[in-house]
A and B are shown apart, each in its own frame.
Chain A
Amino acid sequence: MLELGKYADAILSSWGATLALLIALILVTWRRSVQVKKALHTAEKRASGNG
Chain B
Amino acid sequence: MSLWEFANPVRFMALSGKVLPWVIGLTALTLIPGLIWGFFFTPEAVNFGNSVKIIYVHVPSAMMAINIWVMMLVTSLIWIVRRHHVSVRAAKAAALIGVTMTVIALITGAIWGEPMWGTYWAWDPRLTSFLILFLFYLGYMALWAAIENPDTAADLTSVLCIVGSVFALLSRYAVNFWNQGLHQGASLSMDKEEHVADVYYLPLLLCLAGFVLLFIALVLIRTRTELRLVRLHRLEIRERMKDA
Contact = CB atoms under 8 A, between A and B. Distances in A.
A4 B50 contact: yes
Interface residues of A, number: 33
A26 B104 CA distance: 14
Given A14-B107, A14-B112, A25-B97, A32 B57 contact: no
Given A11-B54, A43-B235, A17 B225 contact: no
Contacts of A6: 49, 115
Contacts of B214: 22
A20 to B, nearest CB: 10
B228 A25 contact: no
A8 B114 CA distance: 13
Contacts of A32: 222, 225
A49 B162 CA distance: 45
Interface string A8-42: 10110111011001101110111011001101100
B24 to A, nearest CB: 10
A3 B49 CA distance: 11
Interface of A: 2-8, 10-11, 13-15, 17-18, 21-22, 24-26, 28-30, 32-33, 36-37, 39-40, 43-44, 46-47, 50
